[in-house]
Amino acid sequence: MIDVNPQILIVDNELEICNLFKDFFDFMGYKSEYETNGEKVLSELELMNYDVLFVDLKLDTISGLEILKKSKSIHPLSEVIVVTGFGTDETVLSALHYGAFSYIQKPISFSEIKIQTDIALAKKRFNKKTNKIRDLIIKNDLSLMEHFNNIINLDRFSNFLNLTIDIDSLADSILSGITEIIPCKYSMFLFLDDINKEMVVFSREPINHSAMVAIGNKIASFYENLVNKKLDKSYNVRVSLSTTITDDENESQPELLSVFAPILIENSIHGVLGVANEDEMIPVAAMDILQLISVRASHVLTNATLHRDTKLLALTDGLTGLLNHRAFHQRLISEFERYRRYGSQMSLIVADFDDLKKINDTYGHPVGDEMLRRIGDILREASRETDVLARYGGDEFVILLPQTSQKNACNMAERIRVQVQDSVFQIQGFGVKCTLTIGVSSVQREGLDSPDDLFEAADKALYEAKRSGKNQIAIAELPE
């Protein structure tokens, strides 16, 4: 039966937003109330009745996540939709992990609000009927009840995974889902492909380094036995977003009771999922459940890796693997806007490969291409993770340096220039040498008011250095 007058609760510290929501729901014929005091809502939530709760993530003194968690505890059938003006992948995953139905970014779209509300109400009606079935089963067969709960949890897990196609966020989504379904102290995820090499560990409690080592050894050993070869140790190891590591390094490694399931991508083993306890046996049904989870995770990881690879092809230079011209300009614009908001520092290096045509004519284009790859490697090694590195054109490279002064940018440029100048590249039996000419500009000056200004200043400095004899650095002059 469809609710005739659904009850909506809006919690936002902006009165204007609350009034907009209420006017909309009044127009829809729904009952609606709002509250701007998050602490009051948190303390009185038991007394409030609502079918759908809209809550802002950032209230004056508390987080909307606190209201979300309490709402799902007190009114588990009432759906919660998080609304916010900002949000990272981490906050989205946290909201969904704690039971939010969906996540809406401001500025709000009322067509989206209408759709989300209707689906949330449909979900509540569906869950009410599901609970009636659960009540009937629990009276007759507890083992059947456990199986029924597994069905519901697997469905919830699949829906949760489908909320993101970002491969960097999937590990946390997968581990969150596993720990909701399988009673365990630790869960773990190892995923390896040409780009992503990561092990992620989730713990219900703070975890010490000894336990991390024990878990890592367990999952690595299982993977090595599966593929019959030693695991390359170059992968990154981290804990899941909701897990913390303690500094107690004197703890001995725990004895782990664990089960694992492989992750298959196109019928090839690319990783492992696992759960572990220290003192308690893993439930008998855990192996079957973990394998079913692995199948679902494999499908999503396949799509995520395909999406990532397709995106990389569109954004990277095929020869060097660096960002291409188009992708660099997108990042330049976004980083310049960040600089404008926070008013820090930013610099740009433009480097030109001297006499590439001469190398191509002397040794052939394959040698010239390999030289470009080697230069790209040198620039990559010299850059920080926060720097934006690209092959801008045929023989031109750029490095955007957020939070970097002109002086530090020049120091970095000089290190690169000297390293290239002093290198002898052994390629196809030839010992090949080359040099770079470099222009540097910084936004620590008046007159550089746009991303194009920053780039043009560095490019102009580069060509001044070229005219002065190559293999040198020039700094952009102050605008007249």
pLDDT, mean of residues 166-179: 82
As to burial, measured by CB atoms within 10 angstroms (0-12 exposed, 13-18 middle, 19+ buried), residue 99 is middle
Asked if 348 and 453 sit in the same domain, the reply is yes
pLDDT beyond 80 at 89: no
Residue 175 maps to a domain:
yes
Q: Strand ranges (DSSP E) for 278-419? A: 346-353, 388-391, 396-402
Q: Strand ranges (DSSP E) for 96-208? A: 102-105, 186-192, 197-203
Asked if 447 and 349 sit in the same domain, the reply is yes
Q: What is the spatial distance between Cα 293 and Cα 157, in angstroms, rounded to a whole number?
A: 8
Active-site residue, selected from the candidate residues 317, 354, 395, 459: 395
Q: Using one digit for the tens of pLDDT, what is the confidence trace for 111-127?
A: 889 999 999 999 899 98
Secondary structure (DSSP) of 32-59: EEEES-HHHHHHHGGG---SEEEEESB-
Tell me how far apart the 2 most distant CA atoms of the chain are, in Å: 90
Under the banding of pLDDT at 50, 70 and 90, the label for residue 428 is: very high
* CB 56 within 8 Å of CB 13: yes
Residue 319 maps to a domain:
no
Residue 161 maps to a domain:
yes
In this structure, what CATH number is given to the domain that contains residue 349? Answer: 3.30.70.270
Asked if 109 and 62 sit in the same domain, the reply is yes
pLDDT, mean of residues 100-112: 83
Asked if 305 and 170 sit in the same domain, the reply is yes
Is the model more confident about 305 or about 390?
A: 390
Domain assignment of residue 40, given as a range: 7-134
Asked if 120 and 150 sit in the same domain, the reply is no
Q: What is the spatial distance between Cα 462 and Cα 480, in angstroms, rounded to a whole number?
A: 18
In this structure, what CATH number is given to the domain that contains residue 282? Answer: 3.30.450.40
Pick the closest to residue 92 from 37, 172, 182 (CA basis).
Answer: 172
Asked if 125 and 235 sit in the same domain, the reply is no
CA distances to 49, 332, 340, 380 from 457, rounded to whole Å, are 61, 14, 18, 23
Q: What is the spatial distance between Cα 102 and Cα 92, in angstroms, rounded to a whole number?
A: 9
User: What's the pLDDT score for residue 370?
Assistant: 94
Asked if 155 and 16 sit in the same domain, the reply is no
Q: Using one digit for the tens of pLDDT, what is the confidence trace for 436-448?
A: 999 999 986 555 6
pLDDT beyond 50 at 242: yes
Under the banding of pLDDT at 50, 70 and 90, the label for residue 4 is: low
What is the number of domains present in the chain?
3
User: What's the pLDDT score for residue 240?
Assistant: 85
User: What's the pLDDT score for residue 1?
Assistant: 44
Q: Which of 134, 169, 200 is the last residue of a domain?
A: 134
Q: Using one digit for the tens of pLDDT, what is the confidence trace for 249-285?
A: 566 788 889 999 999 988 889 999 999 998 888 888 8
In degrees rounded to 5, what are phi and psi of residue 103? -135, 120
Q: Using one digit for the tens of pLDDT, what is the confidence trace for 356-386?
A: 999 999 999 999 999 999 999 999 999 887 8
Reported pTM: 0.58
Residue 112 maps to a domain:
yes
* CB 185 within 8 Å of CB 204: yes
User: For a pLDDT cut of 90, what percent of the chain falls above it?
Assistant: 43
Asked if 102 and 183 sit in the same domain, the reply is no
Q: Using one digit for the tens of pLDDT, what is the confidence trace for 137-161?
A: 877 777 888 888 888 888 877 777 7
pLDDT, mean of residues 63-83: 93
pLDDT beyond 70 at 33: yes
Asked if 23 and 89 sit in the same domain, the reply is yes
The whole-chain average pLDDT of the chain stands at 87
395 is catalytic: yes
User: What's the pLDDT score for residue 76?
Assistant: 92
Secondary structure (DSSP) of 222-250: HHHHHHTSPPPTTSEEEE-TT--B-----
Beta pairing class for 197-203 and 186-192: antiparallel
Asked if 236 and 336 sit in the same domain, the reply is no
User: What's the pLDDT score for residue 169?
Assistant: 77
Q: What is the spatial distance between Cα 31 and Cα 51, in angstroms, rounded to a whole number?
A: 10
Helix (H) or strand (E) holding 204: none
Q: Which of 76, 107, 134 is the last residue of a domain?
A: 134
Q: Which of 314, 339, 360 is the last residue of a domain?
A: 314
* CB 186 within 8 Å of CB 277: yes
pLDDT, mean of residues 345-350: 92
Residue 13 tokens, joined: 């510290």
How many other CB atoms are found less than 10 A from the CB of residue 210? 16
Asked if 298 and 152 sit in the same domain, the reply is yes
Asked if 185 and 98 sit in the same domain, the reply is no
| Secondary structure of residue 129 in the 3-state scheme | helix
